[in-house]
Amino acid sequence: MHNELNDLYQELILDHKRHPRNFRDMPDATRAVDGHNPLCGDQLRIYVRLHEGLIEDVSFLGAGCAISIASASMLTEALKGQSIETAQALFGQMHDMLTNDQSTVDPGSLGKLGVLSGVRDYPSRVKCASLCWHTLKAALDGDKDTISTE
């Protein structure tokens, strides 16, 4: 009976919730963007330092549910040192995995981020996991200072 729930709250997700990685301010950030989910009050700020097409550093601060904190924490781990191009492609894959019932993205190909695939079965929680990705995209695109899920 609790298998379903354990799909959502896997140990890796709980670990990132309890000990979020790169959970810090970044005074020399190239961009900082605020993400807000007004439905549940989740608030994140994502910082990126970009240099010659690379994400040299990425960090975040904020408050939210376990899924949103863990998702943001795993995002920073996955993207540090990656190219902006890779990050944009990963955004597309994450978005598809989280929101598309017919998604062909193999969670196994996404490394640790694949554990978030269970969120798709909880429609009311998808935005918790995707908030940080939309915020990151705004930081990379440089077109907005704040984004909202609504």
Partner 1 sequence: MSTSSAAPTLHASTWDVECIRADFPTLNQQVHGHPLAYLDNGATTQKPQVVIDTLTRYYQNDNANVHRGVHLLAERATRDYEAAREQVRRFINAASTREIIFVRGTTEAINLVASSFGQRLQAGDEIILTAMEHHANIVPWQLLRERTGVVLRFIPITPQGELELERLPELFNARTRLLACTHVSNALGTINPVEAIIAQAKAYNVPVLLDGAQATPHLRVDVQALDCDFYCFSGHKVFGPTGIGVLYGRETLLESMPPYQGGGDMIRTVSLEKSTFAGLPYKFEAGTPNIGGVIGLGAALAYVMALDGEAVERYEQQLLAYATARLQEVPGLSIIGQAANKVSLVAFVMEDVHPHDLGTILDHEGLAVRGGHHCAMPIMSYYGVPATTRASMAFYNRPDEIDRLFEGLLKARKLLS
Give the count of residues interacting with partner 1 (CB under 8 A). 24
Closer residue to partner 1 (CB): 66 or 105: 66
Nearest distance, CB of residue 118 and partner 1, angstroms: 11
**Which residue among 12, 54, 65, 84 contacts partner 1 (CB under 8 A)?**
65
Residues 80-119 that bind partner 1 (CB under 8 A): none
Q: Among 16, 20, 60, 64, which residue sits at the site for partner 1 (rule: CB under 8 A)?
A: 64
Annotate the chain with DSSP letters as a single string.
--HHHHHHS-HHHHHHHHS-TTBS--TT-SEEEEEEETTTTEEEEEEEEEETTEEEEEEEEEE--HHHHHHHHHHHHHHTT-BHHHHHHHHHHHHHHHH-TT----GGGGGGGGGGGGGGG-GGGHHHHHHHHHHHHHHHHT--SEEE--
Write the binding mask 113 to 132 for partner 1: x where contact by CB under 8 A, - elsewhere.
---------x-xx--x----
Taking the complex as a whole, the smallest distance from the CB of residue 46 to partner 1 amounts, in Å, to 18
Least distance to partner 1, CB of residue 59, Å: 21
